[in-house]
Amino acid sequence: MADKITVILPDKSKKEYKKGITVSDILKDIDSELAENALAAKMNGEIVDLSKNINEDSEIEILSFDSEVGKKVFWHSTSHVMAQAVQNLFPETKLAIGPSIEEGFYYDFDKKEPFTPDDLEKIEQGMQEIVKENQPFVRKEIPKSEAIKFFKEKGEKYKLEIISDLEDEKVILYQHDDFVDLCKGPHVPFTGVIKNFKLTSIAGAYWKGSEKNPMLQRIYGISFPSKEELDEYLKRMEEIKKRDHRTLGRELELFSILDEVGPGLVLWHPKGAQIRRVIEDFWVEEHQKNGYQLIYTPHIARLHLWEKSGHTGFYQEYMYSPMVVENEAYQLKPMNCPFHILIYKSKIRSYRDLPLKLAELGTCYRYERSGVLHGLMRVRGFTMDDAHLFCKPDQLEEEVLKLLDFSLSILRTLGFEKYEIYLSTRPDKFIGDPQNWEKATQALRQALEKDNLQFQVDEGGGAFYGPKIDIKIIDAMGRAWQCTTIQFDFNIPERFDLTFVGQDGKFYRPIMIHRALLGSLERFFGVLIEHYAGAFPLWLSPVQIVVLPITDEQNLYSAEIKNRLQGEGFRVELDDRNEKINYKIREAEKEKIPYMFIIGKKEVQNKSVSVRKHKQGDLGEFDVEEIIVKLKQEVKNKSSQ
RNA sequence: GCUGGAGUAGCUCAGUCGGUAGAGCAGGGGUUUUGUAAACCUCAGGUCGUGGGUUCGAUUCCCUCCUCCAGCUCCA
């Protein structure tokens, strides 16, 4: 029967239909609820519109907003609706591209006058009207020449440029209402599906991302099937804004970056410095436990050293200009490795010395383009938690395995439980022996597999001097931040002619691994602030306990308690100002101090304290010794609660 | 670096169609002696980002520079 086809439905059952039936007809036939949420479909693995005709035996899958692809289709369609609204309001505007992105969509426009926030509102209103019309998205396939003619008439020069890059002789257009756009689709069936959207920001963007091309205006937006989801998204954005480490850094007196000092240069205030100290102490202790030797190296060195290491070549654009002292050029260090290498080279190394692990909290300076600086996240002066491991080739896998465990345990202790891990392999341009590359990449891969860690492979994403593993931590808001990096280096050991003496008395070249766990302390601190929203766990908190006498009659006893706590190693403050207890509590809450010890008549009499925990409230009256033991335990555990 | 936006007291912001500026919070002094998120009174605080120009006069208008904010392929 030539006019019948068999379709495997989403529930894997088979059913016969007439040839040419559309996906949405089938959906109506099988399950009305499924059809309602459907945005697009997968037919034999290919993503298609719901209006697609099925002409052969097929398997279909439904794509709703719950799927990654469904979301992309939804957002992409929203960008078309936005583009129509923009051209309705500003007919002279030319279209560039309008894809979906990780969260939402954008469309790039060429328009003389910049868009204003008022324009955004007008565009949103225009979109509302388009959505109300509930027009179908219609797919059209036309010959390339016809498409060129069509866009030429409209003066859409960017579309013409895109078409000229296309290899197919057929071009796909999508139309809804009277708006036609070059687009491979697919799209949602009707504009009416997109009811809940918000245009979030305007920004400049280069055509095809190149600075040499003209600057376009980009409008970003987001959309959802339901109002609840949109509201939730907007609420999340607000929460992220509230957690901004730049705001919290000022409010909590953690750090500052001042004009007078210079862009990207951080002043760590006492409270921020206290947190950093705790992290550093923890870091040092862990490194010593794990066989690292700690070193210190200078901030500058003769330019010659950087020539030898190759940095003046491949890293030039990130380096501050050299300074000349006594007719000799000196370079502010962008990295620590040359120093570590010279320490390695300071004597003849035996295979017995390997692996040699040198670690340093080394402060580096890099010239970052002014436009990319951002609070603590991207700075010009920063401290790397750096280490270099010098290994025999047969030690690689074990050392990588140890490194992974070590990194993850430190990140976990600091409050990060979720990660994204990437393995980057050999790029097209590389140096070193391909066999070594292979060995090193294998060592990285096997270590990841042995540890049962999920990872993605970035083929060709390694540096020219070696493959690497990157770990991104996922913060409380679900955002990923690159911190840990474990990189092989086949370049520098060559350049410095590193060797070790093997068992047979001959010289061999060690393999070197660079690694940073937290990345830079500045950046990591920024992430940490946003992760905890400034409310640090007890072990990290700059002020751990504040003692609050209710009236000045309790000041003496309160001072005793404060001294007692201080003697036990806690970071304590006493707030004996002439203020009401409510006022003092409010301040302590705003400062996000983990514990408040409130002391009134009753507590003095009972030789006790009333304990209030940040954000949780009154925990009741405690015996002083009892609460000291309890909190000491909390610090010792580095509990992230 | 580029495009757009912004820079007024420690912070958040108002204001001046050109005549050198205000509010709340924070800070100082006082009154009050207070039981789990803001008591009351009072005082002090600013070269209005920088340098220049126009003007009798600029924080305001114009230009330069600095800094900050958003973004700068996630490719129909």
ipTM metric: 0.92
Banded model confidence at residue A7, pLDDT cuts 50, 70, 90: confident
Dump pLDDT digits (tens) for A12-69: 777 778 877 787 777 777 766 667 778 888 777 778 888 777 777 878 778 888 888 8
Report which of residues 218-237 in chain A place their beta carbon less than 7 angstroms from any atom of strand B.
Answer: 218, 220
**Nucleotide nearest A96, from its CA to each C1':** B76
Mean pLDDT of A600-624: 96
Higher pLDDT, A199 or A281: A281
Could you tell me the sign of the dihedral formed by the alpha carbons of A276, A278, A280, A286, in that order?
Answer: negative
| The pLDDT of residue A53 | 78
| The pLDDT of residue A32 | 63
**Nucleotide nearest A581, from its CA to each C1':** B34
Banded model confidence at residue A377, pLDDT cuts 50, 70, 90: very high
Dump pLDDT digits (tens) for A516-553: 999 999 999 999 999 999 999 999 999 999 999 999 99
| The pLDDT of residue A402 | 95
**Element holding A134 (H helix, E strand):** none
| The pLDDT of residue A485 | 94
Report which of residues 606-635 in chain A place their beta carbon less than 7 angstroms from any atom of strand B.
Answer: 610, 612, 615, 617-618, 621
A169 pLDDT more than 60? yes
Nucleotides of B under 7 A from a protein CB: 1-5, 11, 31-39, 66-76
Mean pLDDT of A172-190: 85
| The pLDDT of residue A522 | 95
Dump pLDDT digits (tens) for A334-375: 999 999 999 999 999 999 999 999 999 999 999 998 888 999
| The pLDDT of residue A260 | 85
Question: Comparing C-alpha atoms, which of A201, A226, A204 is closest to residue A214?
Answer: A204
Distance CA A93, CA A91 (A): 5
What is the spatial distance, in angstroms and rounded to an integer, between the CA atom of A90 and the C1' atom of B17? 31
A494 pLDDT more than 80? yes
| The pLDDT of residue A441 | 92
C-alpha dist (Å) from residue A97 to A115, A218, A451: 17, 9, 42
Pick the CATH number of A68-242 from 3.30.830.10, 3.30.980.10, 3.40.50.620, 1.10.10.10: 3.30.980.10
Place domain A545-637 in its CATH homologous superfamily. Anticodon-binding domain (3.40.50.800)
Q: How many helices (H) and strands (E) does chain A have?
A: 20, 35
Does nucleic acid strand B have an atom less than 7 angstroms from the CB of A201? yes
- Give the mean pLDDT of chain A: 90
Residues contacting residue A393 through CB under 8 Å, at least 6 positions apart = A436, A439, A511
Mean pLDDT of A584-595: 96
Could you tell me the sign of the dihedral formed by the alpha carbons of A603, A606, A607, A611, in that order?
Answer: negative
Question: For A16-25, A126-135, A484-493, which range has the lowest pLDDT when averaged over its residues?
Answer: A16-25
Q: In chain A, where are the structural domains located?
A: 4-24+40-60, 68-242, 255-297+336-532, 545-637
Give me the CATH code for the A4-24+40-60 domain, please.
3.10.20.30
Residue A174 contacts residue A183 (beta carbons within 8 Å): yes
A558 pLDDT more than 60? yes
Give me the CATH code for the A255-297+336-532 domain, please.
3.30.930.10
| The pLDDT of residue A351 | 96
